[in-house]
Amino acid sequence: MAVEVVYRSSRDPERLFMDKAEADRHDKMLELAESLADVLLKAVPSLNEQQVEDLGIYMAKNRDIFARAFKNQPDALNELSAADTE
């Protein structure tokens, strides 16, 4: 019988990973998403919790593109539009 090592995300216990680094990246992404959701809810109180959570996760998953956009490369956001249409 073979033994298989899997890693569980501490923030998303349903999710299993074969690599510890991947599990850590996922946890960090979810941590960023949660922080973004808190800020977005304060900025736009009319959003509901699901919308805020979805926006936070979307921004966290695409953090590199948003970071470039905030660093005077607004055209980087076009990559998001192109990815959504595919």
The string of pLDDT tens digits covering residues 15-55 is 999 999 999 999 999 999 999 999 999 999 999 999 999 99
The predicted model scores a pTM of 0.81
Reported as a pLDDT band with limits 50, 70 and 90, residue 56 is very high
- Which class would CATH give 26-85? mainly alpha
Helix, strand, coil percentages in the chain from 3-state DSSP, rounded to 5: 65, 5, 30
Write out the two tokens for 7.
């890693």
Which one, of 60, 63, 62, 53, lies nearest residue 32 by Cα?
60
Using alpha carbons, select from 32, 23, 78, 82 the residue that is nearest to residue 58: 32
